[in-house]
Amino acid sequence: MTAPNTSTAQDPADTVLETRDPQHEGAVTLRINRPSVKNAVGPREVTRLRESLLRLQVDPTVRIIFLTGTGDTFTAGADINELNRLSGDAMSSFIETQVDLLNHIVLSPKIVVAAVNGVSAGLGNHIITCCDLAYIKDTAVLHFTGASKALPSLLMGPLLMPMTIGLKKAKSLYLRGGRRSAHEAVSEGLCNEAIAPADWQRHLDEIASEFTGRSASTMAHNKFQLNQSAFQLVGASKLSGLAGALSMSQATDIPTGRVK
């Protein structure tokens, strides 16, 4: 995963960038590219991420997919300013697309890695939970802010969270909210390893090299076996998303705030 290099020219104004690593064939990076708003995502970005993931997961040349952000932020989550401008139907569609995105991260036969390059909140933390592996810069922070913004937990992330860190800790995060440093995120099981910024790119390159050299079918099989319990939650996440979409479609003026 060599971030500065790209195999094809891309518009720097594109809000989701797709990069194929020329040094590690089979490694692809999807990068949220909205640094001016801390990589917050609206309907356009969530749809693009979902469509890219669906296309890449059936591409036989792809072995591993990295999800990351531009600059010093992974993603601040949903763009609340955009959400407050959506109609009820558009809000429902946005939530259903988020549900599909997270479900397909879990269901994808490819290895999906969260490369948490900086601050993460909201949807970003759901993505981290759903990814197969998560590596975080040791300067990054995870913010769990949904409860304070009156946003219901309606995605796959909170369904998987008790399996990831335990029920009591999961309830604390989703009922009370809170902040986790990179090292706390690793100690609680939210991420695999905290990496110093100076070692960040080298570490991701090593991960890319490791997985692009392995059997795609074996990795898909092992991921499937490990995800048996998660698969049972996919249907539950659909129902949760539908209920949440109805609730959110009636919400107005969701509190805004910028993570730091």
Asked if residue 67 belongs to a domain, the reply is yes
Q: How many domains does the chain have?
A: 1
With a cut of 60, say whether residue 81 has pLDDT above it.
Answer: yes
Asked if residue 229 belongs to a domain, the reply is yes
Tell me what pLDDT residue 99 has: 87
Q: What does the pLDDT look like over 244-254, one tens digit per residue? A: 544 544 455 55
Question: Could you give the count of Cα atoms lying within 13 Å of 58 in the half-sphere of its Cβ?
Answer: 5
For residue 229, what pLDDT band results from cuts at 50, 70 and 90?
confident
Asked if residue 212 belongs to a domain, the reply is yes
CA atoms of 8 and 19, how far apart (whole Å): 8
Asked if residue 254 belongs to a domain, the reply is no
Q: What does the pLDDT look like over 181-191, one tens digit per residue? A: 999 999 999 99
**What average pLDDT does range 46-52 have in this prediction?**
96
Q: Which of 20, 18, 26 is nearest to 62 (CA)?
A: 26
Torsion from C-alpha of 9, 12, 13, 17, nearest 10 degrees: 70
Tell me what pLDDT residue 188 has: 94
> 208 - beta bridge partners?
none
Asked if residue 5 belongs to a domain, the reply is no
- The parent domain of residue 48 ranges over 16-249
Give yes or no for a contact between 119 and 69, defined as CB atoms under 8 angstroms apart.
no
pTM here is 0.85
Asked if residue 257 belongs to a domain, the reply is no
Q: What does the pLDDT look like over 160-183, one tens digit per residue? A: 888 899 999 998 888 888 899 999
Asked if residue 185 belongs to a domain, the reply is yes
Asked if residue 260 belongs to a domain, the reply is no
Whichever domain contains 241, its CATH number is 3.90.226.10
